[in-house]
Structure 1
C-alpha cells in the first residue's frame, strides 16, 4: 500500500478512533515513571490506542490495540537525560513492542521532540498472516506536546499522532518531564482541545497601536545535531525569520508579526536516522522543528515537515502550526543544500518561514563539515544577472567604439590636400 493510501486509511479511521476512545472506553489508563536513583524525572498518566497498517500475504490489514495494564517502563532504554542524552520515556508491552517519547527543554518550556513506535511483526496474535517479521520502527517529530517547566501537561481530549503507517491516539493524558519532585506538579498547562470557548470582552474604542518596526535581516546561526556516539550527523547554517498571524490580546484582532530567531539564545536538539532526521530549535517560548526525509531509492532528500509552537506574551492562546507534507530544500545524499538568497517557505496560511544565507545537510555528514553544495535556483538566477548585465554593457561599449571609428574614418576622408 502506498503512503497516500495509508494516509487516507488513517484519516478515515480517525473518527472511529475517537469514537472508540470516547464511547466504548476501550483504552486503559497506565502510569509510567522514569527514575534516577530515588527521584522521578518523567511521569505520565495516559491512555493510548495504537492503529497499525501492515502487509499480509495477499493484501494489507489493519490492527488496533491499546496499551495494556501490563505496560512497563524499560529502565535500560529510558533516561533522565544524563551524559548528553535527551530524556527518554520508553514503555514496553506485549511481545516486543515499545512506545517512546523523547524530551527537550530551553529552560522555560519542555516539549516532546519525538514519538517512536516499535512493533514486532513476528507477534502473530497481533499481526496474523503478516508477510514480514522482525521489529518495525516509525518516528514522528511533529508531536505538539509542550508545557512550561514545573507544570503538568494535561489533555483529556483524544490527540492523534501519525508516524509512518501507524497512528497513536492519546487521551486522558497528564505528563511532566524535568520534574522538581516525585509527583506531578499541581500547576497545569491545558491543551488547546480542552480549552473551553470564552466570550470575548466588550469592544472598547482605543488608540490604534503603532505598526511594529520590521526586525531586519536575522543573524546567521550554525546548528548541529549529534548521534549517540557524539558524532555530528546534521549541520545547518542559516538566518531564520518567523512570519506568524495570531490573535493579539492587546488589540483584540488578528495581527501579523515578523520575529527573528536569535541563534545566541537558541537551544539545539534533534535526531538522525537512516531516512529521517530532525532539527529542533528552542528559544524561550518558541520551538521550531524541522523534519528531513530521504528517499533511499533515489538518494534524494528534502525538508518534509515544519512544526512551530509559540506562546508569546501578546497571544490570546499558544500558537501551533504543523505541515508534514512539504517538499523544500531538495538535494542529493552526500551533498549539502545551499541558498544564500532569501526564501519564503509557506507552512500553513498563518505561518511561513523566511530563510537567509542557508546551507543544510541532514544526511551523510563527514568530519563535521558541509559537503559540496547544490545551489538553489534563486542563487543561480542571481549569478546570471551580473553576467547578463556585464555582457550587455560590453556589447554597448563595442557598439559605441565601432560607431566612433566609423565616424572618425569619414571625418578623415573629408579632408583635401592643398
Structure 2
C-alpha cells in the first residue's frame, strides 16, 4: 500500500470484497390448492446424515437433497378445522421429507418433520442389514410471524432418531397471502448476532500490595550512619528502546447482511481489524493496526445464483 504521506495521516479508503460460492444449490418447492392458489413455498438445500446397521456394524451415510427433488401431489394446503398444510418432498429411491405446518393468530410453524428413508437404496445404504423404509420424526424449531417468510441463512440442524437433517440457506413460508414470498422475514435464532465480547483487561490483584519489611517494621533505634564509600562512576545511560505501537482494542462486532430479490442471501456477524504495512517518505516501513468502525462504514453487495458479494467501504 502506498505511504499515507508525511507524519500527518491521511484518510484511507478501504474496500473489502467477500465472495461466497455455494457448495449446494437450493431447491424450490411450491404447493397449490385446487384453485391454483399457492399456500406453501420453500427454497433450501439440505444435507442428510443417517446411521444404519450392516453385518459388520453401524455405518454413517451422508447425502444431499438432489436438485431433481419434487413436491408430491399428496402435498396439501389443508382444510380449516380439518387438516393442516403439508409439504411432501420425494427424491431418490423412495425417500420422502414431510413438513406439516400449524398456526395460531400470530405465528405459524412446522408442527412435525418426518423423514422416510429407504434402506433398500444400495447406492446410499450399501450392505444394509435390513431392507425397506424407516421413519424418523422431530419437531423442528422452524417458526415465523404470519405473513412473513422464515429465513435462515445459517445451517440449522434437526436431530431425529439415527438421522440429522441440516437445512442450509432456507426460505420457507406457509399460509401465503399471495403467490410469492413476503418481503418481510423472520430470522432463525442461528442468524441472530452473538453477544459482543468486551476486550479482556488485566485484573488487579484482589489483595493490597505488601509493604516492604523496612516500612512495616521500623527500627526502634536510629540507624547507624554508614561509613563513607567512594562513589563509583555512573555507567553511560542505555539508549531508550522505541515503544511499540499501541494495539487498538478488539474491533466492534457488527451484523452485516446482503439482500437480493428473494430476500437475505448473506449474514455476517463479525469484527474487522486490519494490519497495514506501508513505506513512509523516509523509506521506513511502518505497520499500523486499524479497527473498522461499523458506524462509519457503508455496506453494499449483491446476490447471484452462484456468488454472494459483501462490499464494505469506510474511512480509517
- Whether the 8 Å contact between 1:28 and 1:48 is mirrored in structure 2 is no
Question: In structure 1, what is the equivalent of residue 56 of structure 2?
Answer: 58
Q: Note closer, same or farther for the CA distance 1:129–1:26 as it changes in structure 2 (3 Å cut).
A: farther
Question: In structure 1, what is the equivalent of residue 30 of structure 2?
Answer: 33
Corresponding position: 1:139 with 2:137: yes
Corresponding position: 1:182 with 2:179: yes
Give 1:11-26 correspondences, 5 Å limit: 25-26=22-23
SS of equivalent residue, structure 2 residue 170:
strand
Question: In structure 1, what is the equivalent of residue 122 of structure 2?
Answer: 124
Q: Distance in 2 between matches of 1:186 and 1:91?
A: 25
Question: In structure 1, what is the equivalent of residue 110 of structure 2?
Answer: 112
Corresponding position: 1:67 with 2:83: no
Q: Which runs of 5+ in 2 are unaligned?
A: 1-19, 198-316
Give 1:177-326 correspondences, 5 Å limit: 177-197=174-194
Q: Distance in 2 between matches of 1:157 and 1:199?
A: 19
Number of residue pairs the alignment of both structures matches: 177
Q: Note closer, same or farther for the CA distance 1:128–1:106 as it changes in structure 2 (3 Å cut).
A: same
More helix by share: 1
Q: Distance in 2 between matches of 1:121 and 1:56?
A: 11
Computing the radius of gyration from Cα coordinates, the structure with the larger value is: 2
Deviation readout 1:148-206 (Å, 9 max, x if unpaired): 10001100000000111000000101110000011000011111221235779xxxxxx
Question: In structure 1, what is the equivalent of residue 91 of structure 2?
Answer: 93
Q: Distance in 2 between matches of 1:66 and 1:175?
A: 18
Q: Note closer, same or farther for the CA distance 1:198–1:122 as it changes in structure 2 (3 Å cut).
A: closer
Deviation readout 1:216-250 (Å, 9 max, x if unpaired): xxxxxxxxxxxxxxxxxxxxxxxxxxxxxxxxxxx
Q: Distance in 1 between matches of 2:191 and 2:88?
A: 26
- Structure number with greater CO (CA < 8 Å, separation at least 6) is 2
SS of equivalent residue, structure 2 residue 182:
coil
Q: Note closer, same or farther for the CA distance 1:122–1:197 as it changes in structure 2 (3 Å cut).
A: closer
TM-score (norm: length of structure 1) = 0.41
- Whether the 8 Å contact between 1:87 and 1:102 is mirrored in structure 2 is yes
Q: Distance in 2 between matches of 1:179 and 1:25?
A: 28
Of 73, 76, 79, the match for 1:82 = 79
Offset, 1:25? 4.5
Q: Distance in 1 between matches of 2:91 and 2:129?
A: 22
Q: Note closer, same or farther for the CA distance 1:39–1:112 as it changes in structure 2 (3 Å cut).
A: same
Q: Distance in 1 between matches of 2:21 and 2:91?
A: 22
Give the alignment's Cα RMSD to 1 decimal.
Answer: 2.0
Deviation readout 1:63-101 (Å, 9 max, x if unpaired): 11111010000112x111126111111100000000111
Q: Distance in 1 between matches of 2:46 and 2:176?
A: 22
Deviation readout 1:32-61 (Å, 9 max, x if unpaired): 111113111010010100100000112111
Q: Distance in 2 between matches of 1:137 and 1:124?
A: 17
Q: Distance in 1 between matches of 2:117 and 2:195?
A: 42
Question: In structure 2, what is the equivalent of residue 172 of structure 1?
Answer: 169
SS of equivalent residue, structure 2 residue 190:
helix
TM-score (norm: length of structure 2) = 0.53
Q: Which runs of 5+ in 1 are unaligned?
A: 1-22, 201-418
- Whether the 8 Å contact between 1:27 and 1:49 is mirrored in structure 2 is no
Q: Distance in 2 between matches of 1:140 and 1:125?
A: 26
Corresponding position: 1:155 with 2:166: no
Q: Distance in 1 between matches of 2:128 and 2:112?
A: 27
Greater displacement, 119-128 / 83-92: 83-92
Q: Note closer, same or farther for the CA distance 1:33–1:196 as it changes in structure 2 (3 Å cut).
A: same
Deviation readout 1:232-290 (Å, 9 max, x if unpaired): xxxxxxxxxxxxxxxxxxxxxxxxxxxxxxxxxxxxxxxxxxxxxxxxxxxxxxxxxxx
Q: Note closer, same or farther for the CA distance 1:197–1:133 as it changes in structure 2 (3 Å cut).
A: closer
